[in-house]
Amino acid sequence: MLKHPHSPPPHANGAALVETHRIARRDVQRGQWLLHPADFALRAGERAVLTGPSGSGKSVFLRALALLDPLDGGAVRWHGEPVTRARIVHYRRHIAYLRQRPALLDGNVEDNLRYPYTLAAYRHEQFDAARTRALFDAAGRSSDFLTRNTAELSGGEAQIVALVRVLQLDPEALLLDEPTASLDPESARAVEALVTDWFEQARTARATVWVSHDPAQASRVGARHLTMRAGVLEEPAARAPFMEAAQ
Amino acid sequence: MSPGVLQNLGIGDVAIAALLVFVNGAVSVLLKLDLERKLAWAAVRTVVQLLAIGYVLGWVFAFNRWYVVLPLMALMTLIAGFAGAQRGARTYGGQRADSIVSIWVSAWLVAAVGLFVVIRIRPWYEPQYAIPILGMILGNTLTGVSLGVERMMQELTARRDRVESALALGATRWEAAQASAREAVRAGMIPTLNQMAVVGVVSLPGMMTGQVLAGQSPLQAVRYQIVIMFLIACSSALGTVGAVLLAYRRLFSPEHRFLVARLVERKARG
């Protein structure tokens, strides 16, 4: 099992936030492994970063972690408990996956921020306009940003909206699938800052897995380094942390 | 021609009408539409299929036994079910079965209401009523089903990013799919609604025309047509909803996953 040698203290009940046991994905038609059986544990307080060539299976792994695709083997545990069919929606609410290309609904920014509260999983929560305004402030967006139509947003602005939409819901962990890969540098910095702020607010309870192909970003957003090559997840940091980080 | 007596058509009379297909042929040649072969084939099919069904129906009406009527109706339903699954650029495993089930259940349920509750036929399988009425219901239901499911697959493909974002936010599979499903059902119901809006003004339905030609009073013919329109509307709505829900169940797993790999491009047929 891949475990970081300097893991922070485990969660109250001793279990990792998210733990996978030999999760695997296969392309049945071509008979290829998309993801070889992978063991991985994400503990509260960890900032993991996953790098690797494009097409190596980074997204496949992250989507598997978010339970978005059917697994061809293995299991995911959440606080030590298996994620059953009944808990899967609950799980996704807390272990939030953010895709590379943001998908916003028609309408304005506020419509998009309110959308999660229309879902059954959030029926006991309420939209907090002041809080989202503060988040947009932190990202350098003015207060009239909420009324902007999503069709007029740049790619960077759309990704900031998608990120704020997730952060306002207080997830435990963020699974970030190259969220800044197609953004301008300014937006990319805003996204990194939002994630860092969110993490620092409760760093003993939160965690991130950040997929990145930018080594500079990788060293900024993660302390624990994983790699993906041809569907094989490895953690070279366990062997030579400084050499990997310098690459 | 005296009212109430249908002018009989001889083979020669039909042949004169069939010659009109040469007008289509001339259009195709003059405009270089390259449709001559298709036209010829369509014309032959029209003649052969209708002659065949004429003989079959003549025999079934004369024989008049439930064990002949029911299998014929089942065969019609199966053919409608196959046809309902043939539309669009994509398909999914099980689409044909879903199409047959949704068309079968909706059309037979509504036909039963029409035949047993409204028209009250005797005996219960009276083929002169049961077969044409089921046929009309089937034809319109299969249009609704095929349009609805085609739209469902289109919407889910076009909205894939949004569907997955919704799921990632913690939406249930139904919450993620409902926008697409709603569009799909709407698309399936629109043709019937359009038809109902113009019936009698722009179009005179074939059944009504036929009854009037056969000497039925227009008022009676119109009553039949009203009944048929509502039967058609009901069945195509039920069939469309059923087919869209069945497609939804195939394309979304109980684990709230969108199984996009099940949507496959239809292989082009030579």
Q: What is the CATH classification number for the domain harbouring A42?
A: 3.40.50.300
Name the residue among A68, A105, A122 with its Cβ closest to that of B162.
A105
Count of domains in chain A? 1
Alpha-carbon span A155 to A136, nearest angstrom = 16
Give the range of the structural domain holding residue A226, as residue numbers without chain letter. 18-103+171-246
B265 vs chain A: nearest CA distance in angstroms?
A: 15
pLDDT at A3: 39
Domain annotation covers residue A44:
yes
Is there a contact between A161 and A110 (Cβ–Cβ < 8 Å)? no
B76 lies in which domain range?
Answer: 65-265
Residue B120, domain member (yes or no): yes
* Helix/strand/coil for B181: helix
Place of tokens 């259940």: B105
Residues A226, A47 contacting (CB under 8 angstroms):
no
Could you tell me if residue A127 is inside a domain?
no
- Using CA atoms, how far apart are residues B248 and A47, in angstroms rounded to an integer? 37
Three-state SS string over A129-168 comes to: HHHHHHHHHHCCCCHHHHHCEHHHCCHHHHHHHHHHHHHC
Structural domain contains residue A112: no
Alpha-helical segments (H) within chain B: 11-19, 21-30, 36-63, 66-84, 95-112, 127-158, 160-169, 173-198, 206-213, 218-251
Name the residue facing A99 among B165, B255, B256 (closest C-beta).
Answer: B165
Is there a single domain that holds both residue B35 and residue B101? no
Top residue of A69, A104, A114, A122 to mutate, by most chain B CBs within 10 Å, is A69
Grouped pLDDT means (10 residues each) for chain B, 270 residues: 66 90 92 90 92 93 94 96 92 96 98 96 93 95 96 96 96 97 96 90 85 90 93 97 98 96 79
Predicted confidence band at A182 (pLDDT cuts at 50, 70, 90)?
Answer: confident
Residues 6+ apart with CB under 8 A from A118: none
pLDDT in tens, A67-90: 999 999 999 999 999 999 999 999
Over residues A210-237, the pLDDT tens digits come to 999 888 999 999 999 999 999 999 998 5
CA dist., res. A181 & res. A139, Å (int): 18
Same domain flag for B194 and B70: yes
Residue B230 lies in a domain: yes
In angstroms, rounded to a whole number, what is the distance separating the alpha carbons of residues A204 and A60?
27
- The answer on B74 and B56 residing in a single domain is no
Residues 6+ apart with CB under 8 A from A7: A43, A46
Last residue of a domain, one of B18, B38, B63: B63
Same domain, B202 and B73: yes
Task: Flag whether B270 is in a domain.
Answer: no
Q: Which residue has the tokens 């139509």?
A: A149
Check whether residue B122 and residue B250 sit in a common domain: yes
Q: Which of B159, B161, B164, B165 to mutate to test the interface with A (most CBs of A within 10 A)?
A: B165
Average pLDDT, chain A: 88
Residue A40 forms part of a structural domain: yes
A11 occurs within a structural domain: no
Residue to mutate among B169, B172, B250, with most A CBs inside 10 A, is: B169
Which of A70, A90, A98 faces B257 most closely, judged by CB atoms? A70
Task: Tell me, yes or no, whether B49 and B89 share the same domain.
Answer: no
Domain final residue pick, B46, B63, B80 = B63
My answer on whether B22 and B73 are in the same domain is: no
Mutate to test the interface with B, among A118, A119, A170, A209 (most CBs of B within 10 A): A119
> What is the structure's pLDDT at A142?
81
The verdict on B125 and B44 lying in the same domain is: no
Q: Which helix (H) or strand (E) holds A78?
A: strand A75-78
Last residue of a domain, one of B63, B82, B110: B63
State whether residue A127 sits within 8 Å of chain B by CB: no
Residue in B closest to A171 by C-alpha = B169
Residue A138 resides in a domain: no
Instruction: Answer yes or no: is pLDDT of A196 > 60.
Output: yes
Are A10 and A43 in contact by the 8 Å Cβ rule? The answer is yes
Is A128's pLDDT higher than 70?
A: yes
Q: What is the pLDDT of residue B193?
A: 92
Q: Are residues B157 and B81 in the same domain?
A: yes
**Count of domains for chain B:** 2
Scanning every residue of chain B, which has its alpha carbon at the shortest distance from the alpha carbon of A170? Answer: B169
Residue type, A16: A
Burial bucket for residue A82 (CB in 10 Å: 0-12, 13-18, 19+): exposed
**CB distance A119–B253 less than 8 Å?**
no
Terminal C-alpha separation, chain A: 24
Residues B159 and B170 in one domain: yes
CA-based nearest distance A122→chain B, Å: 8
Answer yes or no: is B52 within a domain. Answer: yes
Q: Tell whether B102 and B55 lie within a shared domain.
A: no
The ipTM assigned to this model is 0.88
Question: Structure tokens of B212?
Answer: 């009037």
**Residue A181, in any domain of the structure:** yes
Cβ contact, residue pair B256, A101, below 8 Å: no
B-chain residues near A116 (CB < 8 A): 169-170
Q: Is the dihedral of CA B116, B117, B118, B121 positive or negative?
A: positive
A83, part of any domain: yes
- Say whether pLDDT at A8 is over 60: no
pLDDT of the residue at A238: 56
Chain B residue numbers with beta carbons less than 8 Å from the beta carbon of A97 are 168
B194 and B102 inside one domain: yes
To the question of pTM greater than 0.90 for the whole model, the response is no
Contact A92 B256 (CB under 8 A): yes
Dihedral of alpha carbons A83, A92, A54, A222, sign: negative
Show residues of chain B in contact with A70, CB under 8 Å: 253, 255, 257, 259
Which residues of chain B are at the A interface, by a Cβ-Cβ cutoff of 8 Å? Answer: 161-162, 164-172, 175, 253-259
Number of neighbouring beta carbons within 10 Å of residue B46: 12
